[in-house]
């Protein structure tokens, strides 16, 4: 049955403003009520709005403020921590039609874009100028700029380039009060008061809706050298990464797969390290020889040149499909995959993995391993049968245990997937109550009626 009203005001008002870009057909709404995580929505959307301009976003938020209607912003719904699931009946705001590149300025090292453009599409356009946007999450082919900003995305080049917070220079953002804030700069150096840009990055749509972003861009590497290396144990793999960094070699990527995952993507059933370094053209062979001299693992493949080096990394991009295949081999189509996200200091990775294995064995659940070894970010994964209450309980115990492992080793309960609904309790474990009080106070200033993505983070 079609909801007759949205937040106490007739849906006719939304239809009058947005026309066929407001949809409340129940069969359509189901497509926008879920994300990639296993978190279940506790409510359904009253409608989906597809704005095409900043003015429309402003109108919508002001309407929602007056009617106290919750708003759930959405990019491509690839979040993995319950960041976009519905917690109350409300309006989904899909930015997929605000997907333009506004400006590319290689001289001043920035690009201005709308939030709905996909990261891969952005880099295709930027390549025409010899520049690129370095943030490279596993979902790069579908993830949008707005979603990456909201979640504070990282990815496979994080070992050298960091995460989203390091590459956003400025934002236009509509707060929960219906105010349009233009924050940050179009310059690489900018000290214009409190850093509200970094506050919004990673806030998961709880402080405002981004309508335009000024992103820092970088020259494309001239070339690269890379190796695929096999190991019989993870500590030796990590020690090699530490040794490379200690030799003042800063990897472009340092990624790994566990033995079962390596087998699933066509490699040997051993720990696999994908190690690449960007270099000036002509220095590829020297860097390759230097890497081979530093590592103790068995070098299985070599790559010279940027394209060849990125091709060598391609099996690592198949981690998700490998984990799905491992799950389906046991549970068929009835399985639910839980992809976790924690971070520890690189030197603590072997101990973190040892504790993870012990945890999975105690809970008697499967464990799949892979991640960004260059920056200490791990994605331990498990699964259970859909509808299995005991399996779900063990999975949540696993998530809680992983958070305790990360915090206990000086890391965090999330590196790039965010908090959402899944890790709210873990955040309370990691942060002092006073810190959470300050966060709540900030939330109340940006969103005094709590209409923006309610029930997330805090």
CATH code: domain of residue 271: 3.30.70.2190
The arithmetic mean of pLDDT across residues 248-271, rounded, is 96
Q: How far is CA 453 from the centre of its chain?
A: 17
Half-sphere exposure of 416 (CA within 13 A, CB side): 26
295 and 230, same structural domain? yes
213 and 117, same structural domain? yes
Half-sphere exposure of 29 (CA within 13 A, CB side): 22
Q: Is residue 160 part of a domain?
A: yes
Give the span between the Cα atoms of 128 and 220, in whole angstroms: 11
232 and 188, same structural domain? no
215 and 110, same structural domain? yes
pTM assigned to the model: 0.92
235 and 212, same structural domain? no
165 and 60, same structural domain? no
Task: Give me the pLDDT at residue 77, please.
Answer: 77
Give the strand pairing for 377-378 and 208-216: unpaired
131 and 90, same structural domain? no
Residues whose CB is less than 8 angstroms from the CB of residue 254 and which lie 6 or more positions away in sequence, other chains included: 159, 241, 244, 273, 274, 275, 276, 372, 373, 374, 375
185 and 81, same structural domain? no
Task: Give me the pLDDT at residue 28, please.
Answer: 85
Give the span between the Cα atoms of 138 and 135, in whole angstroms: 10
State the pLDDT confidence band at 2, using cuts at 50, 70 and 90. Answer: very low
For the packed helices 234-246 and 349-363, what is the interaxial angle rounded to 10 degrees? 160
Q: Is residue 86 part of a domain?
A: yes
Q: Given 33, 61, 94, which residue is the final one in a domain?
A: 94
Six token digits for residue 405: 């492992």
**Domain of 38: which CATH number?**
3.30.43.10
**Is residue 8 over pLDDT 80?**
no
Q: Is residue 266 part of a domain?
A: yes
Q: Is residue 259 part of a domain?
A: yes
Q: Is residue 325 part of a domain?
A: no
Give per-residue pLDDT as tens, 71-85.
999 988 777 788 888
Asked if 145 and 163 count as a contact pair (C-beta separation under 8 A), the reply is no
**Is residue 412 over pLDDT 60?**
yes
Give the span between the Cα atoms of 63 and 93, in whole angstroms: 13
Give per-residue pLDDT as tens, 19-45.
999 999 888 887 887 777 777 788 889
Q: Given 190, 219, 248, which residue is the final one in a domain?
A: 219
417 and 405, same structural domain? yes
Q: Which helix (H) or strand (E) holds 9?
A: strand 9-10
Task: Give me the pLDDT at residue 39, please.
Answer: 75
Asked if 99 and 122 count as a contact pair (C-beta separation under 8 A), the reply is no
Asked if 99 and 187 count as a contact pair (C-beta separation under 8 A), the reply is no
**Is residue 137 over pLDDT 80?**
yes
Here the contacts of 406-409 (C-beta below 8 Å, separation 24 or greater) are: 406/342, 406/343, 406/344, 406/352, 409/344, 409/345, 409/348, 409/351, 409/352
Give per-residue pLDDT as tens, 153-201.
988 888 899 999 999 999 999 999 999 999 999 999 999 999 999 999 9
Asked if 257 and 315 count as a contact pair (C-beta separation under 8 A), the reply is yes
Give the strand pairing for 5-6 and 218-219: unpaired
399-403-405-410 Cα dihedral, nearest 10 degrees: 160
Give per-residue pLDDT as tens, 263-281.
999 999 999 999 999 999 9
Which 3 state secondary structure label does DSSP give 114? coil
Asked if 67 and 434 count as a contact pair (C-beta separation under 8 A), the reply is no
The arithmetic mean of pLDDT across residues 250-259, rounded, is 94
Closest CA to 379 of 369, 387, 389, 388: 369
337 and 287, same structural domain? no
The DSSP code for 5 is E
Q: How far is CA 271 from the centre of its chain?
A: 24
118 and 206, same structural domain? yes
228 - beta bridge partners?
Answer: 274, 301
Q: Is residue 451 part of a domain?
A: no
**Domain of 179: which CATH number?**
3.30.465.10
Asked if 303 and 226 count as a contact pair (C-beta separation under 8 A), the reply is yes
Give the span between the Cα atoms of 170 and 262, in whole angstroms: 40
226 - beta bridge partners?
Answer: 276, 303
State the pLDDT confidence band at 10, using cuts at 50, 70 and 90. Answer: low
Per the structure, how many domains does the chain have?
4
DSSP per-residue codes, 121-138:
HHHHHHGGGTEE-----T
110 and 214, same structural domain? yes
Q: Is residue 433 part of a domain?
A: no
Q: How far is CA 424 from the centre of its chain?
A: 17
Task: State which residues form the domain around 130.
Answer: 101-219
**Domain of 417: which CATH number?**
3.30.70.2740
Q: Is residue 125 part of a domain?
A: yes
Six token digits for residue 10: 């007739």
Q: Given 47, 74, 94, which residue is the final one in a domain?
A: 94
């Amino acid at each position: 049955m079609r909801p007759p009203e949205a937040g106490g005001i007739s849906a006719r008002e939304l239809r009058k403003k947005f026309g066929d870009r407001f949809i409340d057909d129940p069969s359509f709404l189901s497509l926008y009520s879920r994300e990639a995580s296993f978190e279940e929505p506790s409510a359904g959307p009253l409608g989906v709005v597809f704005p095409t301009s900043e003015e429309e976003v402003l109108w919508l938020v002001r309407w929602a403020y007056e009617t106290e209607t919750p708003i759930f912003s959405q990019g491509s719904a690839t979040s993995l921590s319950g960041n976009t699931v519905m917690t109350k009946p409300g309006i989904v705001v899909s930015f997929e039609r605000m997907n333009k590149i506004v400006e590319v300025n290689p001289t001043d090292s920035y690009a201005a874009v709308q939030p709905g453009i996909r990261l891969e599409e952005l880099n295709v356009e930027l390549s025409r100028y010899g520049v690129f946007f370095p943030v490279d999450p596993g979902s790069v082919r579908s993830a949008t700029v707005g979603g990456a900003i909201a979640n504070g995305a990282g990815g496979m080049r994080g070992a050298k380039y960091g995460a989203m917070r390091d590459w956003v220079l400025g934002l236009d953002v509509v707060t929960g009060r219906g105010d349009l804030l233009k924050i940050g700069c179009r310059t690489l150096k900018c000290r214009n008061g409190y850093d509200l840009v970094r506050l919004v990055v990673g806030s998961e749509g709880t402080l405002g809706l981004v309508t335009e972003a000024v992103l820092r861009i970088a020259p494309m590497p001239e070339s690269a050298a890379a190796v695929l290396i096999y190991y019989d144990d993870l500590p030796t793999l990590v020690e090699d990464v530490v040794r490379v960094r200690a030799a003042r070699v800063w990897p472009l990527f340092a990624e790994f797969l566990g033995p079962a995952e390596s087998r699933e993507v066509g490699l040997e059933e051993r720990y696999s390290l994908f190690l690449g370094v960007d270099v000036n053209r002509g220095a590829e062979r020297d860097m390759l020889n230097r890497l081979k001299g530093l590592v103790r693992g068995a070098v299985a493949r070599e790559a010279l040149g940027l394209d060849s080096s990125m091709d060598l990394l391609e099996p690592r991009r198949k981690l998700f499909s490998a984990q799905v295949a491992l799950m389906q081999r046991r549970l068929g189509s009835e399985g639910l995959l839980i992809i976790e996200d924690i971070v520890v200091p690189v030197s603590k990775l072997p101990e973190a993995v040892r504790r993870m294995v012990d945890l999975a064995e105690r809970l008697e659940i499967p464990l799949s391993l892979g991640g960004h070894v260059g920056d200490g970010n791990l994605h331990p994964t498990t699964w259970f049968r859909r509808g299995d209450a005991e399996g779900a309980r063990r999975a949540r115990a696993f998530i809680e245990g992983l958070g305790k492992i990360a915090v206990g080793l000086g890391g965090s309960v999330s590196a790039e997937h965010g908090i959402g609904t899944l890790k709210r309790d873990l955040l309370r474990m990691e942060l002092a109550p006073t810190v959470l009080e300050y966060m709540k106070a900030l939330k109340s200033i940006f969103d005094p009626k709590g209409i923006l993505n309610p029930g997330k983070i805090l």
